[in-house]
Amino acid sequence: MQKKTRIAPSILAADFSQLGLEIQRLDQAGADYIHVDIMDGHFVPNISFGPSITKAVRPATAKPFDVHLMISPVDLYIEAFVDAGADIITIHPEAGPHFHRTIQLIKSLGVKAGLALNPGTPVDIVDHVIEDLDLLLVMSVNPGFGGQSFIPDSLNKIASLRKKIDATGRDIDLQVDGGINFETAPKAISAGADVLVAGTATFKGGPENYADNIKRMKGL
Q: Is 10 annotated as a binding residue?
A: yes
Q: Is 199 annotated as a binding residue?
A: no
Q: Is 20 annotated as a binding residue?
A: no
Nearest-angstrom CA–CA distance, 198 and 182 = 10
177 is catalytic: yes
Q: Is 41 annotated as a binding residue?
A: no
Q: Is 145 annotated as a binding residue?
A: yes
Q: Is 146 annotated as a binding residue?
A: yes
- Partners of 88 in beta bridges: 66, 112
Q: Is 169 annotated as a binding residue?
A: no
**Helix residue ranges, H only, the chain:** 19-29, 51-57, 78-83, 99-108, 154-168, 184-191, 200-203, 210-218
Residue among 66, 75, 173, 177 flagged as catalytic:
177
DSSP 134-196: SEEEEESS-TT-SSPPP-TTHHHHHHHHHHHHHHHT---EEEEESS-STTHHHHHHHHT--EE
CB 114 within 8 A of CB 89: yes
Residue among 37, 40, 75, 194 flagged as catalytic:
37
Q: Which residue ranges make up the annotated binding site?
A: 10, 35, 37, 68, 144-147, 177-179
Residue list, annotated binding site for substrate: 10, 68, 144-147, 177-179
Residues with a catalytic annotation lie at 37, 177
